[in-house]
Amino acid sequence: MIRVVVQPEPIDTAAELALAEADAGRAGAVATFTGLVRVDDGVTALELEHYPGMTEAALRHLANEAAERWALLGATVVHRVGRMAPGERVVFVAAAANHRAAALEACAYLIDRLKTDAPFWKRELRGAETRWVAARDSDAAASARWLAE
């Protein structure tokens, strides 16, 4: 099953993992990645903006690509939008497969590509100050690595 969700509500990792494990059935393996709002630099909140319609389509495209490349039994991408506090979950990715290598690789692929291929924008709040987060070259390199292979 391909599951793509963009939501303002907190991400329920237990519920998402249960769905992913149901995909794997008795055959397999599930690898997951959870991204959290970093607690550093005096950041008091993080805001995520997205492009309704295009964001969901871009995530679905990546999930379908991963499912095909690693013959996945399931792929999950849940991304939160709106305002969240340090320590809260921003993103959850899961890949269900018959064997661990495929699940682990697909999971890494999904989060690496998501960072460069899905329209989201982060803004950090430090008290009354706000700052749009700049894109990082290291993220571009991590994403490009999957295309070069």
Partner 1 sequence: MAVEMLYFAWVREAVGSGGETIEPPAEAATVADLLDWLGAHSQSHATAFADRTRLRAAVDQRFAPLDAPIAGAREIAIFPPVTGG
* Contacts with partner 1, residue ranges (CB under 8 A): 35, 48-51, 53-54, 57, 79, 90-91, 111, 114-123, 132-135, 139
**CA distances, 124 to each of 21, 48, 87, 111, 136 (Å):** 34, 9, 14, 20, 15
Task: Give the Cα separation of 120 and 68 in Å (integer).
Answer: 24
Pull the structure tokens for residue 125: 């709040």
Instruction: Provide the minimum distance between the beta carbon of 77 and partner 1 in the complex, in angstroms, as a whole number.
Output: 10
Instruction: Provide the minimum distance between the beta carbon of 115 and partner 1 in the complex, in angstroms, as a whole number.
Output: 4
Q: Considering beta carbons, is residue 2 or 35 the nearer one to partner 1?
A: 35
Instruction: Provide the minimum distance between the beta carbon of 60 and partner 1 in the complex, in angstroms, as a whole number.
Output: 12
Pull the structure tokens for residue 3: 């599951």
* Contacts for 143 with CB less than 8 Å, ≥ 6 apart: 112, 113, 115, 116, 117
Q: Considering beta carbons, is residue 44 or 132 the nearer one to partner 1?
A: 132
Q: Considering beta carbons, is residue 27 or 57 the nearer one to partner 1?
A: 57
Instruction: Provide the minimum distance between the beta carbon of 110 and partner 1 in the complex, in angstroms, as a whole number.
Output: 10
